[in-house]
Structure 1
Amino acid sequence: MEKRLDALFEAVRGVHEITILPHNNPDPDAIASAVALRYLLTQKSAIKSVIVYRGIIGRAENKALVRYLNFPLYRLARAQVEPCAPFALVDTQPGTGNNALPANAEIAIVIDHHPNRVNGTPVDFVDVRPDVGAASSIMTEYLRQADVDVPSLIATALFYGIKTDTMGLGRGTSTLDMEAICYLLPKIDLEALLKIERAQVPVSYFKNLTEALNAARIYNDIVISYLGVMQYPDLTAETADFLLRMKGVQWVVCMGTHKERFIISVRTQNTIGAGQFIQTIVGEQGVAGGHGSMAGGQVILGDKNPDDLAQIFAEKMRNYFGVANVVGKALTT
């Protein structure tokens, strides 16, 4: 680990400013990892850094986390992304299509826990560990190795990032995740964490949830739901997490549209297969990826009809799972 830490700082030797970039519509793991990297650079170097993202932070819990962290991220408009400083990518990678990385940008750092997609992209420092459940666990290890005091604010964010990305340590959890949780636990602000986890939701949330439940169809142990037009892009993931709690269900796929994008979220009780599944379904029509038990994909709509696209994808999914001849049962009546 000392070699990794040394290599990270060697990659930014002589750098005065750096742009930290999580994936679009950042979730708690991406937010916490970005904040932790900024803190590490502040504590151990004179490098100035800014965290930027593209998309929307829409989920109530994620908004509460950002408020708790005193709004550390800056939302980008499409025209605002300029490669004027080296980039540090966290919880994402070049070539994934799910971040605002400009073409020909200089990439100093990539820290992620998804399958390696860096390939031949020039990057000064790469730490990609698909066997780890959360990028926040990797960043916790860096903070520990650097021997910096981790304030409660950052510890709470990292703890929540690990907890959400591993579904309470029940999904894709590694030894590093467990070690990070044990290290962070005495440092967290429990009251703040509870407020984040129990963040109040608007009335529209229940309307959207009702529509998602009405649209859901059950094919043996598989649930597929098309949400239609969504107020924020991570509603598919939020709904899929909720539906996966249904007794007897092994797979959940939720689809919806947000602005010009068709979004798919996949959740499964299995420990493997979600990433391969979504890549097979989306194919070359868009971008897709994920872990063994959670994954997502996006397609730029262009002139495509979203309702037609939902039907096409749902048919491919039923064929993939071998339930093409199964009549879908409505979840609600």
Structure 2
Amino acid sequence: MSNAAAVLTRLRSASSLAVVCHDDPDPDSLASAIALESLARTCGVETVDILYGGSIVHQQNRAFVDLFDVTPRRYSDARLEANELVAFVDHSVPGEHNQVPRGTPIDIVIDHHPSERTVPSDVIDVRESYGATATILAEYFLESELELTPRIASALLFGLHRERLDFYRQPTDREYAAAAALHERTDPERLRELYGVSFLPGSVDAFGDVIHNRIRQGSCLVSCIGRLENRVALAQGADFLLNIDGVDTVLVGGVIRDEVHLSGRTTRPDLDLGESFGRLFGDRGSVGGHDDMAGGQLPLEDVAGTTDAEDVLVERLRDRVGRRFLDAVAGDAAEPDA
């Protein structure tokens, strides 16, 4: 039995399903969630709850929810337990990047990220060789010949584009094949509107600080900023800085409330960024990721003490996080990037 057939068979056994996205869900996670919801309803599942922890603050993620009529609900144990089946999309282990208690049994897991922990699920479709979970869901539709509506095709195409193709983050042949198959089924107007959404004002300010505060060591670049409203600008800044000529690895850090948030990117084939984050910062907070993207949160007091002075805060982050990262993954002396 194929993975798609196993998932469909499991869906046909229940009348309700909770689809759990990871915390702060991105387009890959959201697209995969509504694609699985569509499959579930085709299989006769009457009730589908899409659940998430964290927040949806990135301007394109918020626009995605609006334009694709997604109705995600804040995670709670009660909402999870109210459904017969539980599915994870774009993550795999309870308690890692989600609010689900560790050890909770899961019925279906669909993901492309590697995990060092055992995945506690009846039906497991984890394809580490794939670049996006949306690609896996697209193949479910294409292999089963189930109806692929313009809404779902557009969502999946946007999800795999944002995960891999837009920034050329090690896409596989499967991403290109899925994109080609989805393209003719999409709603072009909806996609154009989604790509044209604007930045939040606070993100623009923080984004400017990310650019201004950058320092470079060889092909590695770091930027540490002070306090910001949400971590959207950190990921956006990391994506942007990776486009600088000669730069192949980026770390951006900033402070949200009582935590230091980190966002990293690399195109180096010899560097596993998730492993590097774990080795450098795993003993100080919650970090993780995979070979080309990583992120995490560190307790602010552990990293920078209790200072309220913004310039002191930035300098401590640069010394205790940024330079530690540069020394570990780069070679030459760090200097401001002109």
TM-score by shorter chain over 0.5: yes
- Of 230, 240, 243, 2:241 maps to 243
Answer yes or no: is 1:188 the counterpart of 2:186: yes
SS in 2 for 1:298: strand
Residue of structure 1 equivalent to 2:24: 25
> What CA deviation, in whole Å up to 9, does each residue of 1:29-77 have, x standing for no partner?
111011101111111232521101112222212211111111321234x
Mapped contact 1:223–1:249 kept (Cα < 8 A): yes
Cα distance in structure 2, aligned partners of 1:302 and 1:122: 35
Paired residue secondary structure (1:125): strand
Q: What SS class does the counterpart of residue 254 from structure 2 fall into?
A: strand
| Deviation (angstroms), 1:158 | 0.5
Distance of 2:168 and 2:199 partners within structure 1 = 25
Cα distance, 1:310 vs structure 2 = 5.5
Measure, in 1, the Cα distance between the counterparts of 2:126 and 2:137. Answer: 12
Alignment map for 1:122-271 (pairs within 5 Å) = 122-168=120-166, 170-271=168-269
How many residues are matched?
327
> Do residues 69 (structure 1) and 68 (structure 2) align?
yes
Rounded to whole Å, the distance in 1 between the matches of 2:259 and 2:30 is 22
Cα drift, residue 209 of structure 1: 1.5
RMSD after superposition: 2.4
Q: What is the letter of the counterpart of residue 327 of structure 2?
A: N
Matched residues in 2 for 1:300 and 1:170: separation? 32
Letter in 2 for 1:218: R
Is contact 2:278–2:287 with CA below 8 Å preserved after alignment? yes
1:329 alignment partner in structure 2? 336
* Distance across 1 between alignment mates of 2:246 and 2:65: 35
Contact 1:112 1:135 in 2 (8 A): yes
Unaligned stretches of 5+ in structure 1? none
The aligned residue for residue 36 of structure 2 is: 37
CA 1:188–1:54 in structure 2 vs 1: closer, same or farther (change >3 Å)?
same
Q: Which residue of 2 aligns with 1:88?
A: 87
CA distance in 1, matches of 2:190, 2:12: 36
1:320 aligned residue: 328
Name the CA distance, whole Å, in 2 between partners of 1:109 and 1:297: 26
Which blocks of at least 5 consecutive residues in structure 2 are unaligned? 306-312
Distance 2:171 2:95 in 1: 23
Bigger RCO (CA 8 Å, 6+ sep): 1
- More divergent stretch after superposition (96-105 vs 218-227): 96-105
Contact 1:29–1:165 (Cα < 8 Å) also in 2 = yes
Percent same amino acid at aligned positions? 26
Contact 2:112 2:128 in 1 (8 A): yes
Distance 2:301 2:17 in 1: 34
Give the whole-Å Cα distance in 2 for the aligned partners of 1:321 and 1:74.
40
Residue 281 of structure 2: aligned partner = 282
How much has 1:284 moved relative to structure 2?
2.9
Kept in 1, the 8 Å contact 2:262–2:296? The answer is yes
**Closer, same or farther: CA 156–13 of 1 in aligned 2, 3 Å:** closer
Given that 1:171 and 1:271 are in contact with CA atoms closer than 8 Å, whether structure 2 keeps it comes out as: no
Asked if the contact 1:93–1:117 (Cα under 8 Å) also holds between the matched residues in 2, the reply is no
Query: 2:308 — aligned with what?
Result: none
Give the TM-score, by structure 1 length: 0.89
